[in-house]
Structure 1
Amino acid sequence: MKLKLEMIVLPVSDVDRAKNFYDALGFRLDVDYTANSEFRVVHFTPSGSECSIIFGEGMTPLAPGSIQGLYLIVDDIEEARADLVSRGIEVSEIFHDANGLLYHGHEGGDVTHPLADQERRAGLHPERASYGSYVTFSDPDGNGWVIQEVKQRLAGR
């Protein structure tokens, strides 16, 4: 069976503020529909993505800002960070995973996600390896995004 991830629901506290943020981010606005005072749906798609985000009134019982680790993939992390900064988005400095666990794989033992502060190292991955360099940002409610540089995908991807 072939499955495609199509949409992610984001919990937000202020729909218009979130709409302005994702518009400034450069996501494409696909839908802004209000059925009544209790239901509004806003649908955005990141440039080049087949998966979209959706938020609004009456969409989810989750607390605003509770979604973390949403990944966007780029082929040039420096260019992506500069673009976000030029759009007024507050974005982290570029960092890499100290242990290289995501890029090199890990057999057994404890695996710490590269977003854990104790595993971050400032700057680009030393070898500029695919899957090795990141920046992070959050929307106004705190929903967390990761941008990861991938220059060459792993086999089968």
Structure 2
Amino acid sequence: MAKVTGIQQDEGWCYIGCSGCSKKIFREISSFTCVTCNETNVVAALVYRVILTVSDATDTAAFLGFDMEVAKLRNIQASKAAQIVGIGVDAQVDTDLPRSFAEIFGNTYTFQLKLKDFNFTSKHQTFTVSCVFPSKVHP
């Protein structure tokens, strides 16, 4: 269990991904290509990639949340929170942090993390969230 105390915005809060697999896609002159799906002309979609600053009674950490888990925190998909402006190589994401993110600050959640060997190296700075649950209030 940890309380959300902030969002690290230096790397943004979403990216343009494949609507089929959510992996990052490559921009071509007038379209997008998904290497994972091995397709050109894929439909682009905004996908959450949010680094949350969280804390508990012992320390502070950075948790990396992707699309579905962040959507659970906010009850809104990334595609509804912002938009892709332009097409092909000119495509950009409206990068202003949506005001609705303010609703999660100060809230406590139970985070399930996906840990791998690299999570225990000195260069690793974030832990990937695999599931988020609202914390139950105990009387």
TM-score of the aligned structures, taking structure 1 as reference length: 0.22
TM-score of the aligned structures, taking structure 2 as reference length: 0.24
